[in-house]
Amino acid sequence: MSKRKKKTAARRKKASPPKQRRWFGKIWRLGLLLVGIFTGLMLPWVIYLNYQVTTEFEGRKWDLPSHVYARALDLYQGALLSRSDLELELKAAGYRAASDASRPGLYRVSGSTVDIYRRSFGFHDGFEESRKVRVRLGSGKVTAVSSLPAGQSLDLFRLEPSEIAAIYPLQKEDRTLIRIEQAPPLLVTGLQSVEDRNFKHHPGVDLRGILRAAFANLKAGKAVQGGSTLTQQLVKNYFLTHDRTIARKFNEAIMALLLEAHYGKSEILEAYLNEVFLGQQGAFAVHGFGQASLFYFDQPLDRLEANQIALLIGLVKGASYYNPRRHPERARGRRNQVLASFAETGLLTEAQARQQAALPLGVTEKPRTRGTRYHAFVDLVRRQLAQVYQEDDLKTEGLRIFTTLAPLVQEKAQAAVSEGLKQLEARGLSPTLQAAMVVADISTGEVQGLVGDRNPNRAGFNRAIHARRQIGSVIKPLVYLLALEHKQDYSLVSRIMDEPISLRQADGSAWSPSNYDNKSHGEVTLLEALTRSYNQATVRLGMNIGVNHLVSRIQQLGVQANVDPVPSIFLGAVELTPLEVTQIYQSIAAGGFSVPLRSLIAVQTADGNELVRYPLRMVPQPNREAIAVLNYALTQVVEQGTASALPGLLAQSGTIAGKTGTTNDRRDSWFVGYTRNQVAVSWVGEDDNRPAGVTGSNAAMQLWGRLFRQLPIESVDLRMPDGAYWLWVDRNSGLLTLEDCEGAVQIPFVDGSGPAQSTACMSARQDDEESFWRKLLGKKKQ
């Protein structure tokens, strides 16, 4: 090739054209040479760069995540809600306290009054405009709700739900990606005003910008301005290395030009919004504004205010230098610079910018541990989504998933678990104890809170859903329920023997259960045996009823677990998860109307069309009169039985039903309890199932008590349905008696199971009454 070139050159010399021509020819040849070199060397390089940058760009395009919402909080006169509870809910939904609720997303507290400016929101059952209201609270209740500024009273108002997670229902990985159309406009325009004002017009590299920066840098004598376009920054983010060589810059510029040649401005900007490095959490980098919004403010991007958006944009310049948690003053300075730039470009008025600049940073104290907020609950959401919906539905982009989570219940349950375990540790129990808790609404089956680890922010093994543990005495109420269903044989005052019992097991060995206190208590009533959780009496009763009946009853109550039909199940040798135990007790607490526990209410597409709804459905249990009688018996567990220490843990009085559970060698501690409308189950134990020194009342009940000390307590509904009624009986003999006879107590009975005989007191009174009427009517006794 070079030979031929020489030849051509020689021929041209011979032609000896004028001097200028020769010069032109030289330049021409040099040009050709350069083109040759470029084609030979640069083109492959450019093709290589092109391949790299487009692969990266295409590879980083993900589907939009689905948005998971908590339940919407209803506010109405009489709603059981304290001011601090309302504030907790407001904060969870991303509201900020202000001196005036002047914009959507702000609230103002003044004494017992809270003014709220609600954002507009598409609820699962309809869109509602933004609206300003005043809520008055007193003695743990909402006393009035009125609209502002007019002041007319409102019967019902709801807050938009807090967004608890952005998930990919079919994947384990969570990223918070955004679409450019959904990004706050101020973010999109503001970012350009600060980082790249010429973004819309340049081809990827902005020569004017580079010159301006170079001039500014020269003038200042150091690097004060960067000339990088957003596109160049995006490229830099893709191949994060920190060397600032000319070659690197050159490559960046080429790749930026290539990106711009391939993709539109909005695609590039969208990628930038999702890619830019905005912080560091341990070993993980925080990429993108969606993620950063959660990392710094614990709120989705669309709930941020101008000053918060400014802070995030400011971080582009140096996420670690301007880290608002480490260097709040620097961050504030940078944020206010950005706000000034907003004002300069007309995105905010001067007054707005000033007002925003005066606000505190509003950054949460600590970033949430990686992963979603309330991820134990979100875990349940994923599981139920997979059970209920077709995989194809879940592939739809940007679903809106409406759940049953009650943030205030969830927060309190989390605190009850982690603080409760710390307290147990202080009392000498193991620091490695683990726990789980489930709280549900009895009538609707809606799971309001779920905790699966002592550290609620730790993602990982979710004990509430996955830990199968022996349930111990928590099973006993079912044995007594079966007895009460045999109304001709048993009532709560029937007597059974609590004495040593020996049963032959399948392997031929003998099984002789003992009581917790290692004593036998002789003849006791069913009520006593249940409330004091006597093992020997329960096994004897169970043997009269039959193991298979118990197994099928467990299944009937909504739990599809494999249960071995062996006598030891009367004492809870059955492994169930806390969620399954909650399901059993939901049925009992609801008077025999089983409702499948659910975390989902509805799922919509991104534009608000309903995809699926998960309606309330109930399944009635047989023998609901016996269940009603059992409910009373379980209130007596708290009143005078193994859970009698519970009321001392609470702040309010009220009738509560409950049951403690402890397993062999104190490996598991259970407590199940319910009020009128809520059922909650707590479990405490070691992950490796070693003896943990726990009992139902010394551990799980403590956590339960901690939770309900902070929740309103409404008394259990003890009205009897058809087929059961209350009778006055004598406390000791169990005979029918009258209310004012000594030792009279009122106890419910299944119709036909009441005592046939009456006390001497009652008979005497009846004789008296009879003779009175006879005298009055002048009749002779026959």
Residue ranges that bind another protein, judged by CB under 8 A: 71, 74, 76-79, 124-125, 155-156, 441-444, 446, 591, 593, 613, 615-620, 624, 676-677, 717, 719-726
Q: Closest separation between CB of residue 231 and another protein, Å?
A: 43
Q: Closest separation between CB of residue 136 and another protein, Å?
A: 15
Q: Closest separation between CB of residue 769 and another protein, Å?
A: 20
In whole angstroms, give the CA distance from residue 7 to residue 16. Answer: 15
Nearer to another protein, 133 or 694 (CB): 133
CB neighbour list of residue 541: distance below 8 Å, 6 or more residues apart:
479, 480, 483, 496, 526, 529, 570
Q: Closest separation between CB of residue 766 and another protein, Å?
A: 19
Nearer to another protein, 417 or 729 (CB): 729
Asked if 442 contacts 679 with a C-beta cutoff of 8 angstroms, the reply is yes
For residue 674, the cross-strand partners are 657, 679
Nearer to another protein, 511 or 593 (CB): 593
CB neighbour list of residue 128: distance below 8 Å, 6 or more residues apart:
118, 120, 121, 158, 160
Asked if 453 contacts 461 with a C-beta cutoff of 8 angstroms, the reply is yes
Alpha helices in 685-759 (DSSP H): 701-708
Q: Closest separation between CB of residue 162 and another protein, Å?
A: 17
Q: Closest separation between CB of residue 388 and another protein, Å?
A: 16
Asked if 382 contacts 332 with a C-beta cutoff of 8 angstroms, the reply is no
Nearer to another protein, 558 or 705 (CB): 558
Q: Closest separation between CB of residue 715 and another protein, Å?
A: 12
What's the CA angle centered on 375, arms 369 and 380, to 5 degrees? Answer: 165
Q: Closest separation between CB of residue 627 and another protein, Å?
A: 10
Q: Closest separation between CB of residue 558 and another protein, Å?
A: 14
Going by C-alpha positions, the residue among 227, 243, 218, 696 that lies closest to residue 476 is: 696
Strands laid side by side in the 163-167 sheet: 163-167, 66-69, 400-403, 600-604, 610-613
Number of Cα atoms under 13 Å in the Cβ half of residue 442: 23
Nearer to another protein, 328 or 723 (CB): 723
Q: Closest separation between CB of residue 625 and another protein, Å?
A: 9
Nearer to another protein, 30 or 619 (CB): 619
Nearer to another protein, 116 or 699 (CB): 116
Residues acting as catalytic residues: 195, 473
CB neighbour list of residue 349: distance below 8 Å, 6 or more residues apart:
343
Cis bond upstream, residue 149 (ω within 30): yes
| Plot region of 592 (φ>0 → left; ψ -120 to 50 → alpha; else → beta) | left
Asked if 237 contacts 271 with a C-beta cutoff of 8 angstroms, the reply is no
Q: Closest separation between CB of residue 71 and another protein, Å?
A: 8
The β-bridge relationship of strands 400-403 and 66-69 is parallel
Going by C-alpha positions, the residue among 72, 128, 81 that lies closest to residue 601 is: 72
Nearer to another protein, 272 or 674 (CB): 674
Nearer to another protein, 140 or 565 (CB): 140
591: tokens are 């008077």
Nearer to another protein, 172 or 719 (CB): 719
What's the CA angle centered on 39, arms 36 and 41, to 5 degrees? Answer: 100
E strand or H helix that includes residue 96: strand 96-97
Residue at 268: amino acid letter: I
130-135 CB contacts, 8 Å cutoff, 24+ apart:
130/104, 131/157, 132/101, 133/75, 133/157, 135/75, 135/86
Nearer to another protein, 56 or 89 (CB): 89
Nearer to another protein, 338 or 493 (CB): 493
Going by C-alpha positions, the residue among 208, 239, 250, 243 that lies closest to residue 225 is: 208
409: tokens are 């219940």
Nearer to another protein, 516 or 725 (CB): 725
- Terminal-to-terminal C-alpha distance of the chain: 143
Q: Closest separation between CB of residue 476 and another protein, Å?
A: 25
111-120 CB contacts, 8 Å cutoff, 24+ apart:
112/83, 112/136, 112/137, 112/138, 112/143, 113/137, 114/83, 114/86, 114/87, 114/90, 115/148, 116/90, 116/159, 118/157, 118/159, 118/160, 119/160, 119/303
Instruction: Quote the crossing angle between the two packed helices 185-195 and 230-238, to the nearest 10°.
Output: 100
| Residue reference for tokens 């609270």 | 137
Q: Closest separation between CB of residue 363 and another protein, Å?
A: 34
In whole angstroms, give the CA distance from residue 635 to residue 579. Answer: 22
| Residue reference for tokens 């087929």 | 723
In whole angstroms, give the CA distance from residue 120 to residue 126. Answer: 11
CA dihedral for 501, 506, 508, 509, sign (positive or negative): negative
763: tokens are 């008979």
